[in-house]
Amino acid sequence: MRILVLIDGSKWSQKAALHAIAIAKRKNAKIILFSVLDRREAKAIAFNLSMRSDKIGEIKKFEEQIWKEMKKSVKEIMGGLLELCHEENVNCSMKIVEGIAKDEILKEANSGAYSLVVMGAYGKSGKTRIGSLLEELAGIIKPPLLIVR
């Protein structure tokens, strides 16, 4: 059994990983921690920051810094989860891709390699509303989708 866990850096995706580990421990399953980094996110943050701080000339520099931070942050979170899997004797690996979240997730989840996909109900914006990505994905992901709160 192979379990795909969608990691977006939010608390909810880390909780999703905990559920996946609990299942993997009992089923001797392999976990793949999967994250999509979208360059457009770094662009948007850089634009909003530089517009507000009169530093529009440094927008490219901001974008690069933010992009680096995004990569570092997701690697750090995944590293922590890998370590946790190791402590729990669960076989686990990580995969980080660049692109549009919905497209990359669908490509990976529907590849036929997974028996279960696990994700958080909310994203990085917290509990303001149920994740819009979740609403888009729930109908079109082929393996069973475990949505964690």
Residues near another protein (CB under 8 A) are 1, 10-11, 14-15, 18-19, 21-23, 25-27, 76-77, 79-81, 83-84, 87-88, 115-116, 121-122, 124, 126-127, 130, 134-135, 138-140, 143-149
- State which residue, 22 or 100, has the beta carbon closest to another protein: 22
Q: Is 122 buried (19+), middle (13-18) or exposed (0-12) by CB count in 10 A?
A: buried
- State which residue, 62 or 122, has the beta carbon closest to another protein: 122
- State which residue, 59 or 84, has the beta carbon closest to another protein: 84
Question: Looking at residue 15, what DSSP letter applies?
Answer: H
The answer to whether the CB of 35 falls within 8 A of the CB of 8 is yes
Tokens in use for 23? 């299942």
- State which residue, 101 or 119, has the beta carbon closest to another protein: 119
Largest CA distance in the chain: 55
Angle formed by the axes of helices 59-87 and 11-27, to 10°? 30
Give me the helices (H) in 88-146, please.
101-109, 132-138
Question: Looking at residue 8, what DSSP letter applies?
Answer: -
